Structure 1
Amino acid sequence: MTRFLLVVPPLVGHTNPLVGVADELAGRGHDVAWCGNAEQLGRLVGGGARIYDCPMPRDEHMVRPPGLTGPAAFRFLWENFFVPLADAMAPGVDAAVEDFRPDLVLTDQHTLAGSLTAERRGVVHVTSASTSAELVDPLAAFPKIGAWLRELMNGLRHRIGDPRAEGDPRFSPYGVVAFTGRELIGDAPLPHDRVRLVGPVIAPRPGDGGFPWEALDGDRELVLVSLGTANTDAGGRFLREAVTALDSLRDRVQGVVVDPGGLLEDVPDGILVREYVPQLDLLARASAVVSHGGHNTVCESLWHGLPLVLAPIRDDQPIVTEQVVTAGAGVRVRFGRVDAARLRTALETVLDDTGGHRTAARAIGRSLRAAGGRRAAADLVEHVAAGTPVHG
C-alpha cells in the first residue's frame, strides 16, 4: 500500500479531476489523504475522506475586480491569489506531510505550497495540471511578464521551498498529469517528456438530488449554459442574453442555465435555471454547450462529443477557447459584447453542424476517451511512487 497526499486550492475546477483519481487509487488499495480547504473538500470529495485543513489567505486577497482581463488579470491572479495562497497553505501542508508521511504528493499546478513543501522535505511529487493553457507557454510572447513570474516564484521558493532547487515548481520533474489531450494543444512542445496527457476525468461526483429531470423535454435539443463557479461577479448580462437566445429557439432547444449567483429573474417557461447542476449527467443528454471556456467544462463536453459556443472572460479561458476553435469543435463569441441574436446564430451554427463542429467534437471525444482518464492518471502516480521512470 502506498500513501498519496493530494494538495489542492479552494477552486472546484482544480479539485474535481482529482476526485476520480483519488477514488481510483483508493480502489487499488492505496491510502489517500487530502490537503486544502477542509470545508470545501468535505463537499467535493465525499464523506469519510481523510482531510488535512489548511489556512486560506484573507478574503481581500481573493477578490478580483470584475472588469480585470488580459495581462493585468494574470498578474493579479499570481500576485494576489496564487502566491498568498502558497504562503498561507505552507504550514498546513508541512503539518500534513509530517503526520501522514506520504510516499508521494500529488499537487495541483497552482498550489505551489504542495510542490515546494515536497521539494524542501525531499518527498517525491507529481503535478496535476487542470488546464492546458500553461502547458503551451502562454507567456512566450510576453517575456517581461514571464521574467516577473519567475522572480515571484523564486521568492516563494526561498520562503517555503528549497532555495537550492531549480526548475519551474508548476511542473514536477518526476511527472505531470495533464487532464487534456493532444488534439487541443496541437503540436506545441510540452514542458518536458514526463507530461502525460490523460484527458478529463469522468467519474461520479456528489449529485444534485433536487434536479427536476422530469422537466426535460426529450423532443427538443438540450443546451447547457454555464460560466463556472468563479465568474458569478461578471456573468449577469451574458446569462440574460443567453436566456433570450434560448427562448428564441424554444421550438427546437431547451436550455438549462447555471446561475450560482441568482442573477436571473422572470425566466421564460421551458428554460431551467439552477444554482448548481449535475453537469456530467446533463452532458450525457445535451446537444451543445455554451461556456466561458473553463478547461474542465470544455474537456468534459468534448469527451461527450458536444460542440461548444465559447465566451472567454479571462485567465486561461482565451487560450483554451482558441484551442477549441483551432480544432474545429466550437465557435467563439465576445463575452462583453455578444447579444442574444449573435448567440442564437452561434448556437444554430454548432447545432446544425454547418461548419463541422459536431463532427470535430465527436472525433476529439473519441481521442479523449482513449487517453485513459483517471486510470491513466493513477497508473502514472503509481509508477512514480514505485521509482519507475515515466515518459509521456
Structure 2
Amino acid sequence: MSRFLFVVPPLVGHINPAVAVAAELTARGHRVAWAGLPRIVEELAGPEAQIYACETPTEIQRPPELRGVAALQFLWQEFFGPLAEAMAPGVEEAITDFRPDVVVADQQTLAGALVAERMGVPWATSATTSAEFADALASMPKVDEWIRDLLTGLRARIGDPGLTHDPRFSPDLVLAFTTTALTGEAAAGPQVRFVGPALTRRPAADTFPWEWLDPDRHTVLVSLGTANTDVGARFLTECTAAVRERADRVQTVIVDPGGVLDPAHDADLLIVPRVPQLPLLERTQAVISHSGHNTVAESLWHGVPLVVAPIRDDQPVVAAQVTGAGAGVRVRFGRSNRAVIGAALDSVLDEPQYREAAIRVRDSFRTAGGAAAAAAHLEKLAV
C-alpha cells in the first residue's frame, strides 16, 4: 500500500479529475490525502476525505476587460504566484504528517511541486488543461521569459534553489487528461502520459427537471463555467435569442451561476445556476461553451460537438484544438451576435462531420484509460 497526497487549487475543474484518480487509488487499497481549500475539496471528494487545510488568496477579481497577454500576466502575478506562497506551509505540514510516497501536484498549484522537491518526495504533475503542451508562448518569448523568472523566484522562496527544471512539468510523470486526438501531435516530453479524461460520480446538483427534456427536439447546453460570470451577460443574452429562434427543433439549458439572465423555465428554455453536467451530456446534441478544458473534455467524452467562444487564459488554445480536431466551430466571444451563434449551432447540429469528429475524439478518450490508467502510472512511480 502506498500513500498519495493530492495538492489542488480552489478550482472545481482542476479538482474533478484528481477526485476520479484518488477514488481509483483508494479502490486499489492505497491511502490518499489532500492539501487544499477544505470546503471545496470536501464538496467534491466527499466528507470522508482526509484534508490538510491550506491558505489560499482571497477571491481575485480580474478586470473584465483584460484579455490576451494582459489577462495571462494578471493570472500569474495575482493568482498562481500568491497561491503557491500561501499554500506552501500547508503543503509542508501535509507532507510531514502524511508522509506520502508520491505528491500529485496540479500543474497550476506550484506549491505541490516546489515543496515536494525541497523535501525530497517524488512528485507527479496533474495536467488538467492541455494548453501547456501547445507551446502557446513560442511566439511571445518575452512573456515566456517573464513567467520563467516568476517561477525562479518562487523556487528560491519555497522550493529547492539548486534545481532548474520547470515545476509545471514533473521530470518523472505528467498525467495529461486528454489525448492527441484532441491536442494533435503535442510537444510533450517522454514523461507525459495521455490518459484521457478522468471522470467519476459527483455530488448531486440541485434537482433537475428531467421530465422537461423533449426527446423530439435537440437538446443544447450553454455554459461559460463558473469563473466567467463577470463577462458573460452579453454573450448569454445573444445565445438566448439564437436558440429561441430555433425553438421548433431545439430546446436549451443555459447555466447561469451568476444570475446575469432573467430566470426562465418554459417549453423552450431552461435557465438554472447549475446542472448535473455529466448525465445531462448523455442527452445533449450540442454544447456552446467558453472552451474551458473541463467542459470540452466532458462534452467530447460523450461525442458531443461544440460551438466554442474562448474568453481568455488557456481557452483560445483549447478552442484551436477543438476546431483542429474538426469537433466544433469557433466564434468570437466579444463580437458574435445571435445570427453568428445561431449559424454556428446549425453547423454542429446539421453537418455530420462535426459529430463524427467528436465521436473519434470520444473513442480515443475512452480507450486511453482515464482514472485507471493514471492510477497505474502513479503506482509505478511510488515503487
Of 182, 187, 212, 1:215 maps to 212
The answer to whether residue 48 in structure 2 is matched with residue 44 in structure 1 is no
AA partner of residue 279 (structure 2): D
The answer to whether residue 62 in structure 2 is matched with residue 64 in structure 1 is yes
Q: Distance in 2 between matches of 1:207 and 1:269?
A: 23
The CA deviation at 1:184 is 1.6
AA partner of residue 238 (structure 1): F
Alignment of 1:237-386 (within 5 A): 237-265=234-262, 267=264, 269-270=266-267, 271-353=269-351, 356-386=353-383
Q: Distance in 2 between matches of 1:214 and 1:250?
A: 17
Q: Distance in 2 between matches of 1:364 and 1:58?
A: 38
Find the counterpart in structure 2 of residue 390 from structure 1: none
Q: Distance in 1 between matches of 2:247 and 2:311?
A: 27
Q: Distance in 2 between matches of 1:384 and 1:268?
A: 50
Cα deviation, 1:199-227, whole Å, max 9, x if unaligned, reads 11121111114111111111111111000
The answer to whether residue 23 in structure 2 is matched with residue 23 in structure 1 is yes
Cα deviation, 1:220-263, whole Å, max 9, x if unaligned, reads 11111000111111111111111111111111111011000011
Secondary structure, aligned partner of 1:272: strand
Q: Distance in 1 between matches of 2:196 and 2:235?
A: 29
Tell whether the 8 Å contact from 1:308 to 1:331 is kept in structure 2 after alignment. yes
Tell whether the 8 Å contact from 1:132 to 1:179 is kept in structure 2 after alignment. yes
Find the counterpart in structure 1 of residue 226 from structure 2: 229
Secondary structure, aligned partner of 1:202: coil
AA partner of residue 80 (structure 2): F
Tell whether the 8 Å contact from 2:20 to 2:200 is kept in structure 1 after alignment. yes
Q: Distance in 2 between matches of 1:210 and 1:197?
A: 35
Q: Distance in 2 between matches of 1:247 and 1:94?
A: 53
Tell whether the 8 Å contact from 1:261 to 1:275 is kept in structure 2 after alignment. yes
Tell whether the 8 Å contact from 2:303 to 2:359 is kept in structure 1 after alignment. yes
Q: Distance in 1 between matches of 2:83 and 2:304?
A: 35
Tell whether the 8 Å contact from 1:259 to 1:274 is kept in structure 2 after alignment. yes
Secondary structure, aligned partner of 1:273: strand
The CA deviation at 1:58 is 3.5
Of 101, 125, 138, 2:99 maps to 101
The CA deviation at 1:136 is 1.9
Secondary structure, aligned partner of 1:106: strand
Tell whether the 8 Å contact from 1:353 to 1:359 is kept in structure 2 after alignment. no
Q: Distance in 2 between matches of 1:344 and 1:132?
A: 28
Of 145, 152, 176, 1:154 maps to 152
Secondary structure, aligned partner of 1:233: coil
The CA deviation at 1:266 is 5.8
Find the counterpart in structure 1 of residue 4 from structure 2: 4
The CA deviation at 1:149 is 0.7
Tell whether the 8 Å contact from 2:134 to 2:317 is kept in structure 1 after alignment. no
Q: Distance in 2 between matches of 1:71 and 1:106?
A: 29
Cα deviation, 1:330-350, whole Å, max 9, x if unaligned, reads 000110111111111111100
Unaligned runs of 5+ in 2: none
The CA deviation at 1:41 is 1.0
Tell whether the 8 Å contact from 1:24 to 1:374 is kept in structure 2 after alignment. yes
The CA deviation at 1:269 is 2.1
Q: Distance in 1 between matches of 2:208 and 2:51?
A: 29
The CA deviation at 1:113 is 0.3
Of 120, 126, 130, 2:118 maps to 120
AA partner of residue 3 (structure 2): R
Cα deviation, 1:57-95, whole Å, max 9, x if unaligned, reads 234xx2211111101111111011000000000001001
The CA deviation at 1:268 is 6.8
Tell whether the 8 Å contact from 1:115 to 1:172 is kept in structure 2 after alignment. yes
AA partner of residue 184 (structure 2): G
Secondary structure, aligned partner of 2:171: coil
Tell whether the 8 Å contact from 1:247 to 1:268 is kept in structure 2 after alignment. no
Tell whether the 8 Å contact from 1:243 to 1:267 is kept in structure 2 after alignment. no
Q: Distance in 2 between matches of 1:66 and 1:194?
A: 37
Identity over aligned residues, as a percent?
58
Number of residue equivalences: 382
